[in-house]
Amino acid sequence: MMSDHKTSNQMWGGRFASGPAAIMEAINASISFDRKLYAQDIRGSLAHSEMLAETGIISKADQEKIAHGLNTILKEIESGAFVFSTKLEDIHMNVEARLAELIGTAAGRLHTARSRNDQVALDFRLWVKDEFQRIAEALKGIIGVLLDRADEHAATVMPGFTHLQTAQPVTFGHHCMAYVEMFARDLSRVRDAIERMNESPLGAAALAGTGFPIDRHQTAKALGFREPTRNSLDSVSDRDYALEFLSIAAICATHLSRLAEEIVIWSTPQFAFVRLSDSFSTGSSIMPQKKNPDAAELVRAKTGRVNGHLVGLLTVMKGLPLTYSKDMQEDKEAVFDAAETLDLMLAAMTGMVGDMTVNEQAMKRAAGSGYSTATDLADWLVRTLGLPFREAHHVTGRAVALAEQKKVGLEKLSLDDLKAIHSDITDDIFSVLTVQNSVKSRKSFGGTAPAEVRRQIRYWKKRLAKA
């Protein structure tokens, strides 16, 4: 039998009582995710109502009722008693409808000189700003752990790589400090972004401002912003702060994924540079000998998700005409998920790095393999014999070839072997062929010498103490 066309669509209407209206509700509603903004929404409404009363736009008595109602709603939501309704679309209308139930007609005055367009722009900015602060704290946390590990291992020698081929010896402390630089840049990006987004859009109303004598400076100040935004059209259509949040998150996640990848490599039995603690690794259900770096792998993988959210929102925003379009409702899930994901990634990485065991012997052994001090040999020829670097490079190449042929390290060649390659070589050359002396010699600013690494650590400890 044919179903009634009006109440359900033949193709997809089976579960819908009233056809398109229910679909409309489903695509339109954002309450399932924007309820996360409840605290910001209520904060914004309280500030707005106070300003309306102070400017004489609403009465003090109505404002008191509104404030009382909003505080009741806050408690209801926090205790789980509040009933959210999809029919009421979003957090703004859910709160307002409940306010009407609680205080009656005065509730209708709250939305004077305001629109959901500036309201949502405000709520979301407040949320992103709070989240920026959380990320800043988490970044300080991981930087602190890396500084501690660097301190401990300022002189622990390991191979430095290019192309993942042994290049020159470095210290593990120096390697940790490379990540300190990255996360410190992330932290400075967060601070820059907060500074840029620290303006209140409240009072831009639907798009054109309002004829009511509102005081946007007052609400901006009450809500902790530096000042109000300067253009009402931009105020309701700007989502740069969300895009900046996502791009900073993507860059930070990318840093985390590089460290995660190194931990995956370092924790293989072949490398054995580090051993993850039991709390940050898992076993295999079939191979009892295995200890898997799952947390590191997941940090590496979740970066894809964060990067995806950035591209997703850029794509939502591209080509949108001014001002507000409903497309912009799609900004929230991207940012919420990226934030939750990044928080977790930072926490996992901080834990992993903090309690992994560093195998100094394995690092040192590896540091000496692969003729890692060949550049030191060449530098000695330049410094001591005055050879041009290109010629020294050639002489060193012959020494490496000989060592390879004899299956020994460079430091195990005899003086006669070396003299046969260049007659002016003296046994002073052996002083630069050990990995310890190699790293010790690299005292240039930013270099890997333990003394220089310790100077870098002091610099960052001092700088972050001030931050």
Is there a catalytic annotation at residue 284? yes
Among 120, 184, 193, 220, which residue interacts with ligand ARG (rule: CB under 6 A)?
A: 120
Distance CA 164, CA 268 (A): 15
**Binding status of residue 329 toward ligand ARG by CB under 6 A:** yes
Minimum separation from the CB atom of position 95 to ligand ARG (A): 12
Please tell me which residue in 79, 163, 279, 423 is annotated as part of the active site.
Answer: 163
Minimum separation from the CB atom of position 21 to ligand ARG (A): 17
Please tell me which residue in 3, 59, 284, 325 is annotated as part of the active site.
Answer: 284
Distance CA 415, CA 425 (A): 8
CB 144 within 8 A of CB 66: no
Minimum separation from the CB atom of position 214 to ligand ARG (A): 19
Minimum separation from the CB atom of position 109 to ligand ARG (A): 20
CA-based nearest residue to 338, from 252, 240, 259: 252
Within residues 361-390, the interface with ligand ARG by CB under 6 A covers none
**Binding status of residue 90 toward ligand ARG by CB under 6 A:** yes
By C-beta, is 92 or 442 nearer to ligand ARG?
A: 92
Distance CA 91, CA 12 (A): 29
Among 40, 117, 375, 448, which residue interacts with ligand ARG (rule: CB under 6 A)?
A: 117
- Please name the helix (run of DSSP H) or strand (run of DSSP E) that holds residue 167, with its range, or none: strand 165-171
Mark the segment that binds ligand ARG (CB under 6 A) among 186-194, 212-220, 322-330, 389-397. 322-330
Among 30, 40, 171, 229, which residue interacts with ligand ARG (rule: CB under 6 A)?
A: 30
CA distances from 176 to 25, 183, 201, 248, 356 (A): 51, 11, 41, 21, 13
Distance CA 205, CA 212 (A): 10
By C-beta, is 117 or 372 nearer to ligand ARG?
A: 117
By C-beta, is 335 or 363 nearer to ligand ARG?
A: 335
φ, ψ at 170 (rounded to 5°): -135, 180
Give the rounded distance of the alpha carbon of 411 from its chain centre: 44
SS3 state at 291: strand
SS3 state at 199: strand
Which residues contact residue 144 at a Cβ distance below 8 angstroms, ignoring those fewer than 6 apart?
464
**Binding status of residue 328 toward ligand ARG by CB under 6 A:** yes
Mark the segment that binds ligand ARG (CB under 6 A) among 214-222, 324-332, 351-359, 402-410. 324-332
User: Catalytic residue numbers?
Assistant: 163, 284
Positions in the binding site for ligand ARG (CB under 6 A): 30, 34, 90, 116-117, 120, 324, 326, 328-329
